[in-house]
């Protein structure tokens, strides 16, 4: 087992076990702040949020390949949704199958993003998504997600995506 695979599995287990403990990542790291309080993001937190901003922009242009650049191009990445899939190629194939055209893709928006830097190499971001589209194209969809990102030489990249909806 490679070092990366070991660390990826460790963080994936952490992500999957936290909801079972009744703890939120935010509560585990620091006391809750009032929801109307603003704070300045660190450079790493900003880098994590920029990944999602670029993904949102690419999606709304109908560019699935551009959207996919937010993920690490690796056979080790995990996507947890209705089922568990592994690998960049499978993830991209699934997106292209499920969203074959711009109408099916609709308009994506992310909200309530909470980036949490775990260490110099890994971060987690929690958030909500909303997909607006016509009934004919599948109807609206919304849900929550938790992502594990790794800081690579190409910047922050998603290595675990757990999306519900």
pLDDT digit string (tens) for the chain, length 165 residues: 454 444 545 544 444 434 433 333 333 344 444 555 677 999 999 999 999 999 999 999 999 999 999 999 999 999 999 899 999 999 999 999 999 999 999 999 999 999 999 999 999 999 999 999 999 999 999 999 999 999 999 999 999 999 998
The third-level CATH classification (topology) of the domain covering 3-22+42-163 is Nuclear Transport Factor 2; Chain: A, (3.10.450)
Q: What is the pTM of this model?
A: 0.78
The number of beta carbons lying within 10 Å of the beta carbon of residue 156 is: 26
The upper half-sphere exposure of residue 121, i.e. CA atoms within 13 Å in the direction of its Cβ, equals 6
Distance CA 19, CA 130 (A): 22
Cβ-contact 67, 95 below 8 angstroms: yes
Closest by CA position to 89, among listed 105, 72, 106, 103: 72
């Amino acid at each position: 087992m490679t070092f990366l695979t070991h660390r990826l599995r460790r963080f994936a287990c952490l992500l999957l076990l936290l909801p079972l403990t009744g703890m939120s990542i935010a509560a585990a790291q620091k006391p809750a702040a009032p929801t109307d309080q603003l704070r300045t993001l660190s450079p790493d937190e900003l880098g994590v949020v920029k990944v999602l901003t670029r993904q949102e922009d690419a999606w709304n242009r109908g560019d699935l390949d551009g959207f996919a650049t937010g993920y690490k191009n690796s056979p080790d990445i995990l996507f947890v949704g209705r089922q568990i899939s592994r690998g960049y190629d499978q993830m991209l194939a699934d997106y292209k199958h499920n969203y074959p055209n711009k109408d099916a893709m609709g308009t994506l928006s992310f909200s309530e993003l909470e980036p949490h830097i775990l260490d110099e190499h890994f971060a987690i971001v929690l958030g909500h998504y909303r997909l607006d589209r016509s009934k004919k194209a599948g109807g609206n969809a919304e849900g929550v997600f938790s992502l594990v990102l790794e800081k690579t030489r190409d910047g922050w990249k998603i290595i675990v995506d757990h999306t519900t909806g």
